Structure 1
Amino acid sequence: MKNKSLFQRYFYICFTMILLSMFILGAIFLVFASQYFKEDKYTLLSQNLDQAADLTVDCMIQIGGVVHITSNVENYYNTIGESIGADIYLADMRDGRILYSGGAGGSEHQLEYVPMSVMESFRTKAVYTETGRMKGLYESAHYTVGKPILSPGNRVICAVFASTSASALSTFLVDIFQMFVLSAVVVMILASIIIYFVTSNMIRPLRQMLVATGSFARGDFSIRVPVEGDDEVSMLAAAFNAMASSLATLEQSRRSFTANVSHELKTPMTTIGGFIDGILDGTIPPEKQNYYLQIVSTEVKRLSRMVRAMLNLSRIEAGELKINPEPVEITDIVTRTTLMFEKPLTDKNIEVRGLDTEKRMVEADPDMIQQVVYNLIENAVKFVNPGGYLEFRYWEEGDRTLVAVRNSGEGIQSEELNRVFDRFYKSDKSRSKDKSGVGLGLYIVRTIINLHGGEIFIRSEVGQYTEFVFSLTTCPQKKQPRFRKAEKENLPSQKTE
């Protein structure tokens, strides 16, 4: 069975179960048929034996105080016995000698005796029944029924018996068995055909999945399994198709990620290598070396950010990213993080709004939330339009504090809103503006927020703004924050002329 296919195993199991059921059913049927045949024979013999007993009493005469039975009774026995295919015989109670017999083979019993053990049984019971040879009276098995004959003084003087051959049972059972076998063969053929097609239909989606997995192994995720019905196999096929779609998306993202990472790593490394070689071989004069070293430093930081993002992704996928929540002042984190982007904000003449607000305390991991805020502000600074604004808003809903980071600009198309948090995803518009990312920042942001038990969502209006809103558990104001309130004088609060 180990080398057989699922189709063969299922087919053989069903076939075996049906065959076993037919065998058990046939055995039970033959037992009941045999029992019914025997009961029918006993009923037939008993009914006719009552008539024979009555006729025997009618032929009884008493001479000198001695009861005699006339020979006319033998004619009656012949008539009754021949009509039912049985022997009818009368035995003397004293010695078991057969007095009269008739029917199917009455002459066989002349000068024969019924065993006294049989005759003695009438002293304790009124009816005798046996399936056998009548203690050697017959050479083969017979069904026998016996009843006592009473004298006018209610004394048992003899017994009348009716016996018929039990060989008819064998013939009856053989006929029944032949009919059953013929019916069983027909049923098994029909059942085999039905099982074959049912099993084929059941196994077909699994075979299609097997073919599809072969294609997946070769990198082709375009094959889908047809879904028919709503049973477990259909549900499995639907889940398989969903998995295929996810794999296709993941594979596309992986390829895009590989291409992006290759390009993003190659560009700064080429720049760094070229400038360092130029400094070492004297191509770059000493008075310009500091300028080019500054470019090298910027590219190294860029490489560091990309490596850190990929390491965080690895920790997330391995389930190793853990949080250590404590009371923190989210407004202070936002302010301090925004200070890191002072230069690009000033260069693009960006107005910063919402930093001058009351402090808000939340329960969070300070380092991870600082990374969330950093990624969101970095994303906003990249896509804010020159001369636009960067705005922060805070409010509470129940036991949650919500933080919004909004920037003016082109916004995001509605069909892309559900994908911005996917791994490696970068919109077509962002590809021309985001030269330093690989599409992991927002995915990491969402993962960190989810680990805190919060939620994050995006709102955008094309040509107007983009806003990210995340929620954290509100912390009582009396708890001390990890960060003290930062100075804000160095940040641009309005558009610079």
Structure 2
Amino acid sequence: MNKLSIKLGLLFFLIIFGLETFMFFFLHSALVESRVEEELIALQTRGNSHRSILEKNFDDEIISHVTLMESEANTDVVITDKNGEVLNSSIPKERITNYIERPVNDISWEGHILEDNWKEEAFISTVSPIEINGQTAGHVYMFQSTESIHSLINRLNDHFLLTGLIAVCLTFVIIIILSKALTKPLIKMKEATSKISKGDFSVSLPKSGNDELGNLAESIQLLANDLNYLKQERNEFLASISHELRTPLTYIKGYTDIVYKRDLSNEDRDKYLNIILEETNRLSDLVKNLFNLAKIDENSFVIQKELLDLTDFIDKIEQKFTPAFQEKEMRFEVDCPEGQVLMADPSRLEQIIFNLLDNAIKYSSSGDKAILTVRNNNHTIHITIKDSGKGIPEKDIPYIFERFYRVDKSRTRALGGSGMGLAIVKELVHAHGGTIKIKSEENKGTEFELIFIGADKNENNSISR
């Protein structure tokens, strides 16, 4: 009884069996009553027919003829005079005495049903008055044994019993099939959720339709796929973190041992100490990025927006980055019209642009250029950073914002990238309610477009969005 299929099957069986039983009893009762009523109507009609003949010739010969006719039928007739004396009968008088002794005064010419209790009485009977010249001259009593009715009812009961058994068997079979059909996908879902709870997300549930069960199966399959993706992401994340932490630590430990154990010249010592410093800074940046990602995942990353004058903001960025571009022998151009304003967190927006400009420097060569453009288009601010560097292969573009994803791991390692910069940029842009788009062609350059909801600065410095 612990299986859902058994419970559903038993419940359906009890409901359907109850309905079938009620319908069978109702139909049986209706058929029996209808059949008895038909027998009474036929008996009354036969009595009225005899009465019509006797009203034309109410004599011994006709009475005997009528009695003789009924003696050959499955019904019986008793003819009495107006005082109730039996003139002739096709049935022994003692069997029907209690019927003909009943008062029959004031009976209409259409006749009257004298007895209809077929369950307890031996006969059903009717009576029809014989009227001659407006006076009642006698009565015609018609009798039919209830044995024939009981025999008919027994045959009807047998048919109903056989039909009922067949219906119950068919219902039982159909319910078994239906309950299994209903519970089969549920059992598969239970097995799937059991595997998911044990950490096995490689489940496959077939689409069983557009009903609730189909939607549930689709939801469980989607959950399993998401959990499997998260598991893979977690494993890759941990592997990447381990690798990212191990590399600078290895450099720091190795060069520290060299500086500590060997008698080095001042030049070599400064060289190794500089490497240790670079790897320490890299490790510090990595931990900082991890901390930022953790805060973003926990929705505890605070964005404190304020009204920014983008002209001054971009000028400061240009001043900070121009030396880095000059050192790489690259051109850096800025195009920001006057009067552009934006509601944003200045430190986070600076972090976004710094990351993108830093990538432009890392993945470009001497003689390349980078352009920072700001435009206002239909109340949206578009900040574009375009370079003419190495570009990104088309197959890598869909994954470029994923954490720890590198287009060229060996090259990125040489350039000091951890694969988290663009992931943080994307999260920061989304935290501002903006979007980021990328266009890139290998060996031709990359373009990042940041789109934010614009703001207008009025006289009292209020903001309309």
1:246–1:37 Cα change, 3 Å = same
Looking at structure 1, the residues matched to 230 and 287 of structure 2 have their Cα atoms a distance apart, in angstroms, of 20
1:24–1:111 Cα change, 3 Å = closer
User: Conserved in 2, the CA contact under 8 Å of 1:89 and 1:102?
Assistant: yes
- Letter aligned with residue 50 of structure 2: A
User: Conserved in 2, the CA contact under 8 Å of 1:98 and 1:114?
Assistant: no
User: Conserved in 2, the CA contact under 8 Å of 1:146 and 1:160?
Assistant: yes
Looking at structure 1, the residues matched to 85 and 407 of structure 2 have their Cα atoms a distance apart, in angstroms, of 116
Q: Is 1:352 the counterpart of 2:332 in the alignment? A: yes
- Letter aligned with residue 113 of structure 2: Y
Q: Secondary structure at the match of 2:121?
A: coil
User: Conserved in 2, the CA contact under 8 Å of 1:88 and 1:106?
Assistant: no
Looking at structure 2, the residues matched to 395 and 14 of structure 1 have their Cα atoms a distance apart, in angstroms, of 68
Shift of 1:27: 2.0
1:112–1:200 Cα change, 3 Å = closer
Instruction: Report the counterpart of residue 80 of structure 1 in structure 2.
Output: 70
Instruction: Report the counterpart of residue 39 of structure 1 in structure 2.
Output: 37
Shift of 1:11: 3.2
User: Conserved in 1, the CA contact under 8 Å of 2:330 and 2:369?
Assistant: yes
Instruction: Report the counterpart of residue 107 of structure 1 in structure 2.
Output: 93
More relative contact order, 1 or 2 (CA 8 Å, 6+ apart): 1
Instruction: Report the counterpart of residue 450 of structure 2 in structure 1.
Output: 470
Deviations 1:201-238 (A, max 9, x none): 55444444444445445554444333465555445444
User: Conserved in 1, the CA contact under 8 Å of 2:390 and 2:445?
Assistant: yes
User: Conserved in 1, the CA contact under 8 Å of 2:380 and 2:451?
Assistant: yes
Q: Which of 395, 402, 416 in structure 1 is aligned with 2:382?
A: 402
Instruction: Report the counterpart of residue 405 of structure 2 in structure 1.
Output: 426
1:371–1:182 Cα change, 3 Å = farther
Shift of 1:132: 2.0
Unaligned runs of 5+ in 1: 61-68, 483-497
Q: Secondary structure at the match of 1:468?
A: strand
Shift of 1:312: 4.0
Match runs of 1:5-44 below 5 Å: 6-44=4-42
Looking at structure 2, the residues matched to 180 and 370 of structure 1 have their Cα atoms a distance apart, in angstroms, of 88
Shift of 1:473: 1.2
Looking at structure 2, the residues matched to 155 and 227 of structure 1 have their Cα atoms a distance apart, in angstroms, of 86
- Letter aligned with residue 433 of structure 1: T
Looking at structure 2, the residues matched to 24 and 110 of structure 1 have their Cα atoms a distance apart, in angstroms, of 38
Looking at structure 1, the residues matched to 301 and 390 of structure 2 have their Cα atoms a distance apart, in angstroms, of 34
- Letter aligned with residue 409 of structure 1: G
Looking at structure 2, the residues matched to 302 and 255 of structure 1 have their Cα atoms a distance apart, in angstroms, of 23
Instruction: Report the counterpart of residue 148 of structure 1 in structure 2.
Output: 129
- Letter aligned with residue 250 of structure 1: L
- What TM-score comes out, normalization by structure 2 length? 0.80
User: Conserved in 1, the CA contact under 8 Å of 2:352 and 2:425?
Assistant: yes
1:291–1:425 Cα change, 3 Å = closer
Instruction: Report the counterpart of residue 397 of structure 2 in structure 1.
Output: 417
Deviations 1:310-366 (A, max 9, x none): 444444444445655442234544454565556654443332122564352123344
Judge which range, 286-295 or 156-165, deviates more.
Answer: 286-295
Q: Secondary structure at the match of 1:268?
A: helix
Judge which range, 445-454 or 272-281, deviates more.
Answer: 272-281
User: Conserved in 2, the CA contact under 8 Å of 1:328 and 1:480?
Assistant: no
Looking at structure 2, the residues matched to 111 and 216 of structure 1 have their Cα atoms a distance apart, in angstroms, of 87
Shift of 1:150: 2.5
RMSD between aligned residues = 4.1
Shift of 1:467: 1.5
Shift of 1:398: 1.6
Deviations 1:17-63 (A, max 9, x none): 43333223312221221122122212211221211221332343xxx
1:191–1:319 Cα change, 3 Å = farther
Looking at structure 2, the residues matched to 206 and 459 of structure 1 have their Cα atoms a distance apart, in angstroms, of 46
Looking at structure 2, the residues matched to 280 and 93 of structure 1 have their Cα atoms a distance apart, in angstroms, of 147
Deviations 1:109-135 (A, max 9, x none): 46555354x5246279953354227xx
Q: Secondary structure at the match of 1:122?
A: coil
Q: Secondary structure at the match of 1:463?
A: coil
User: Conserved in 1, the CA contact under 8 Å of 2:337 and 2:375?
Assistant: no
Q: Secondary structure at the match of 1:119?
A: coil
User: Conserved in 2, the CA contact under 8 Å of 1:98 and 1:110?
Assistant: no
User: Conserved in 2, the CA contact under 8 Å of 1:328 and 1:481?
Assistant: no
- Letter aligned with residue 23 of structure 1: T
Looking at structure 2, the residues matched to 439 and 184 of structure 1 have their Cα atoms a distance apart, in angstroms, of 74
Q: Secondary structure at the match of 1:150?
A: strand
Shift of 1:249: 2.9
Looking at structure 2, the residues matched to 425 and 480 of structure 1 have their Cα atoms a distance apart, in angstroms, of 45
Instruction: Report the counterpart of residue 64 of structure 1 in structure 2.
Output: none
Looking at structure 1, the residues matched to 88 and 418 of structure 2 have their Cα atoms a distance apart, in angstroms, of 113
Q: Percent identity?
A: 23
User: Conserved in 1, the CA contact under 8 Å of 2:9 and 2:176?
Assistant: yes
Q: Secondary structure at the match of 2:205?
A: coil
Q: Secondary structure at the match of 2:434?
A: coil
- Letter aligned with residue 397 of structure 2: L
Q: Secondary structure at the match of 1:262?
A: helix
Q: Is 1:364 the counterpart of 2:354 in the alignment? A: no
- Letter aligned with residue 248 of structure 2: P
Looking at structure 1, the residues matched to 342 and 124 of structure 2 have their Cα atoms a distance apart, in angstroms, of 98
Judge which range, 410-419 or 438-447, deviates more.
Answer: 438-447
1:315–1:13 Cα change, 3 Å = farther
Instruction: Report the counterpart of residue 233 of structure 2 in structure 1.
Output: 253
User: Conserved in 2, the CA contact under 8 Å of 1:392 and 1:403?
Assistant: yes
Q: Secondary structure at the match of 1:457?
A: strand
Deviations 1:125-176 (A, max 9, x none): 953354227xxxx962643333333341x24454433232445444333333
Instruction: Report the counterpart of residue 78 of structure 2 in structure 1.
Output: 89
Number of equivalenced pairs: 461
